[in-house]
Amino acid sequence: MTKKIVIALGGNAIQSQNATAAHQQASIRETMDRLKPLFEAEYPIVISHGNGPQIGNLLIQQSKSDSPQTPAMPLDTCGAMTQGMIGYWLETEVNRILSEIQSDKHVGTIITRVEVDRNDPRLHHPTKPIGPFYTETEMTQLKQSNPESVYKEDAGRGFRKVVPSPLPISILEHQMINTLVDSGNIVIACGGGGVPVVRQSHSFEGIEAVIDKDFASEKLAELIDADTLMILTNVEHVYINFNEPNQEKLSDITVDELQRYVEADKFAEGSMRPKVEAAIQFIGQNPNREVIITNLANAYTAFEKHTGTHIHL
């Protein structure tokens, strides 16, 4: 049976030491070359991706050019802008791969809105740093013009704005995405965790928040009834007690075993923990679903079960 796959690309798949468009496009070219065997296997695929460095740079640009003539755009709009930019780069390279393997598939990007609950308690506890660093004086001035904004000191490097990171409850475009995938297309969606929105009367409005990419990817995989959620990060396996003398590699593990490790606080918050929590949420009680967590270099060999961490019921 053909498996429907959601591939969640980590920031290392796009990020380059050099932030120019050319260098980031080169990184994406290398990433798509790594994934070429999956495209050759003709699996139905959805690709999601991070946008941390890109939206950070965009917010700096917006801040520096802010004026009555060129007003800075709000965070939700900047998120949509980076979805379009990175989606365009990804489309270009996926098209190249499809041409090389003589596939008649098409690829497209969906600017994705992710619904969150306006009563989510996380909306009242900003934790996610975004944008440029400010001195204490600059931060005080910014607070005067926007007293509701929250800033936190970041490791002696200055102050950064922090925003909430609520949990996704739905993907507004999931039916369209599923239709496109089931019609044989490759879809790029949920870039940067998607644009967070809340229900407003008969429509939705964007909010100033950032949704974790892994949770958004999990929700999308759930809604389109994917078989496999592949989370690509910077390590080949998930570990407990990572970087400690008693570090232990996890290769094949059940949801129940993984949940016990989560409850024992074996995974770092803001690093591996969201990934394993997303894995647990996706599989639930469905015996037909699996999650693979590995690095980009081993994506296909992990899919073939030769490496990586495999999570199942």
Catalytically active residues are: 11-12, 128, 213, 275
Position 196, amino acid:
P
Sign of CA dihedral 36, 38, 40, 46: negative
Phi, psi at residue 58, to the nearest 5°? -65, -40
DSSP tag of 198: E
Question: 87: Cβ–Cβ under 8 A, 6 or more apart, which residues?
Answer: 109, 111, 188, 191
CB atoms within 10 A of CB 36: 17
CB atoms within 10 A of CB 9: 27
Phi, psi at residue 73, to the nearest 5°? -85, 150
Helix axes 174-182, 213-223, angle to 10 degrees: 60
For residues 88 and 229, give the distance between their C-alpha atoms in angstroms, rounded to a whole number: 23
